[in-house]
Homo-oligomer: A and B are copies of this chain.
Amino acid sequence: MPYVNIKITREGATKEQKEVLIAGVTKLLQETLGKNPQTTVVVIDEVETDNWGIGGESVTVRRKRGQ
C-alpha cells in the first residue's frame, strides 16, 4: 500500500530504466518493511531542467556551465 513519488530532471531516462526504478523501489519496500508489492504504487515525475532549481539557480543554467 505504500506510495512512492520519484522526481528527476527530464534528461533522457528510458522506459527500461524507469521499469528498473519501479521494480527496485517496490522490492526494497517488500524486503525492508514487508509491504505487499501488489499494492505498492510508484509515480515518476520528469521535470524540465528550467523548472528544477538547486543552489539558487536552474539546472539549465548549471548544465550550461558544465555542472
Q: Which residue numbers of A lie inside 8 Å of B, CB to CB?
A: 1-9, 13, 15, 17-29, 32-33, 35, 37-47, 50-61
Contact = CB atoms under 8 A, between A and B. Distances in A.
- Number of this chain's copies in the complex: 6
A37 B60 CA distance: 17
Contacts of A17: 32-33
B56 A27 contact: yes
Instruction: Identify the interface centre among A27, A41, A46, A53: most chain B CB within 10 Å of its CB.
Output: A53
A48 to B, nearest CB: 9
Contacts of A43: 3, 7, 47, 51-53
A45 B45 CA distance: 10
Contact of A4 (B6, B18, B27): B6
